[in-house]
Chains A and B, each alone.
Chain A
Amino acid sequence: EVQLVESGGGLVHPGGSLRLSCTASGFTFSGYGMHWVRQAPGKGLEWVSCIGPGGSTIYYADSVKGRFAISRDDAKNSLYLQMNSLRAEDTAVYYCARSRQVDVWGQGTTVTVSS
């Protein structure tokens, strides 16, 4: 079964850091570009970042550029999002998703930034 499972969310103070993980199974992870997409409480979907197969290309939304870093470890079938200098407006459910078509989504992990 094709599956993505996110982890690493939690409560963090403004200015703090958090590292999210997304573990893939059921498909050849190394062959796909991967995305992080977030959804603030009661709001719509916002694309955050993308990394291409092999990590060759990386893109960020302007709202997280310079604060977040996406990476992948194909040997571990894992995608990561290092989030630094967190702000209240980063509070959201963070999803990982596969490919340009976003055809597979995880269940999400919740990040709450609050003092």
Chain B
Amino acid sequence: DIVMTQTPLSSPVTLGQPASISCRSSQSLVHSDGNTYLSWLQQRPGQPPRLLIYKISNRFSGVPDRFSGSGAGTDFTLKISRVEAEDVGVYYCMQGTQFPLTFGGGTKVEIK
């Protein structure tokens, strides 16, 4: 199974300041079809998960452009350019390249 490791576990951020979350996979996420199925999800308190970014860097419909994804191979990053109050929650990376699909352990973003 592909292990997804996220850092940090927790990220206290000042409103308006940037935040960055890293995700490392135990093996390459490049699929045989050439795509890299690395997604980022946001889960606000009491809510289901919501897709933010798919295939490393593609923002899903309705996602603000302050969210961006980057990376390749086994190392990936989610950046929030200016954190807003509504961004509080837990963020997960997920690989969809190989079954079983696996998630990172989550990073809690909170306001200082």
Contact = CB atoms under 8 A, between A and B. Distances in A.
Physical interaction between A and B: yes
Interface residues of A, number: 21
Given A101-B39, A102-B51, A103-B51, 9 more contacts: A45-B41, A45-B49, A59-B99, A95-B48, A95-B49, A102-B39, A102-B96, A105-B49, A108-B48
B48 A47 contact: no
Interface in A55-105: 59, 61-62, 95, 97, 100-105
Given A95-B48, A102-B41, A44 B102 contact: no
Contacts of A102: 39, 41, 49, 51, 94, 96, 101
Interface of A: 35, 37, 44-47, 50, 59, 61-62, 95, 97, 100-108
A62 B100 contact: yes
Contacts of B103: 44-47
Interface string B63-96: 0000000000000000000000000001010101
Nearest to B31: A100
Contacts of A103: 51, 54, 60
29 contacts: A35-B101, A44-B92, A44-B103, A44-B104, A44-B105, A45-B43, A45-B49, A45-B94, A45-B103, A45-B106, A47-B100, A47-B101, A47-B103, A50-B101, A59-B99, A59-B100, A95-B49, A101-B37, A101-B39, A102-B49, A102-B94, A102-B101, A103-B51, A103-B54, A105-B49, A105-B50, A105-B51, A106-B48, A107-B48
